[in-house]
Amino acid sequence: MTGGGYWASGGYLNLTQTEFSGNEAQTGSGGGLYGYQVTFTTVQTKWIDNHAGTQANSGVMANPITGGAISFEAVTSMMNYTSFSHNSVHSGSPALQPAYGGAVYAIHGTNIYWSVQAQQNSASSAGGGFFFYDCTSINYYAEVVNNTAGEGGGYVIDDATFIVYNASVQYNVATAGQGGALLSNDSSLIIYNATMESNVAMTNGGAAAVYLDTSTLVSTNVSYVNNISGGGARLDIVCLDSSTNLYDTPPEAFPVVDCQHQCDVMVVYDGHQKQLCSQAEPPSKEPHFKSKIV
């Protein structure tokens, strides 16, 4: 079953001062809502304790289970003053199906979020808070706190364009891989006026804040504070075959960057530029995260 609380296809869906809670898509996606080719708007809406994939396992490898609260395909969505808490997406046991997007999963669409909160959501595979795939997503005033996933505890951005202004991304955890706060694959990211603090990647040498795989990141006035890798060391950014430009990052919150393969990191602070690293010879470590749907 897909769309535990509501299923929408085509047309328009508008929600105002609404609460979706305690819904389940036991063998499918979208614990609270599944939307396909719909224009969706929401204002002052709460999504609490919705779950997808609680009994999802057919015994064979299948397409991902997506969206603990919401799963969107080819949707234009606009959310205002909306919160997500204690939602989850899991793929059963044994876990043959990937499970993406503890709060929201969106593919092939456009997503504009204003003052959206995601707290204590989880995904067994990737994207504890949000998973954006092959789409454009713009977040204003985001709070993404205490979310958990195998990889990408707060966000996963895959083959997408992602822009976030004025964000607090804190205390998120990647339990089995990279990107405690955010994992990016084949994507373009702009992060402006944000705090990346106390995120954790449990893997030794994992990127506790941001993991970039073949991606570009422009980071302006972003504080990277106390992000911890599984080995106990601070490691904010791992940059794999990617380009990163860090602007106006204060020295007391300066990111620690691990460059892998061909990677360029340029730091610009107070008008001064510094080439942080450029490594042409690839080490043995290979990228391991691919979320393509089969």
Q: pLDDT tens digits for 115-149?
A: 999 999 999 999 999 999 999 999 999 999 999 99
pLDDT digits (tens, 9 = 90+) for 170-182: 999 999 989 999 9
- pTM of the full structure: 0.91
DSSP secondary structure letters along the chain: ---SSEEEESSEEEEES-EEES-EETTSS-SSEEEES-EEEEES-EEES-EE-TT---SS--SPEE-SSEEEES-EEEEEEEEEES-EE---SS--S-EE-SSEEEESSEEEEEEEEEES-EEEEE-SSEEEESSEEEEEEEEEES-EEEE-SSEEEESSEEEEEEEEEES-EESSSS-SSEEEES-EEEEEEEEEES-EE-STT--SSEEEES-EEEEEEEEEES-EETTSSB--EEEES-EEEEES--GGGPPPEEEESS-EEEEEETTEEEEEEE--S--S----------
CA-closest candidate to residue 85, choices 37, 32, 136, 140? 32
Least confident window among 41-50, 78-87, 256-265: 256-265
- Which tens digit of pLDDT belongs to each residue from 267-294? 777 666 777 765 544 333 444 444 443 3
The domain segmentation of the chain, as residue ranges, is 6-54+69-278
Give yes or no for a contact between 74 and 109, defined as CB atoms under 8 angstroms apart: yes
Task: Calculate ∠ Cα 251-256-257, nearest 5°.
Answer: 130
Amino acid, single-letter form, for residue 23: N
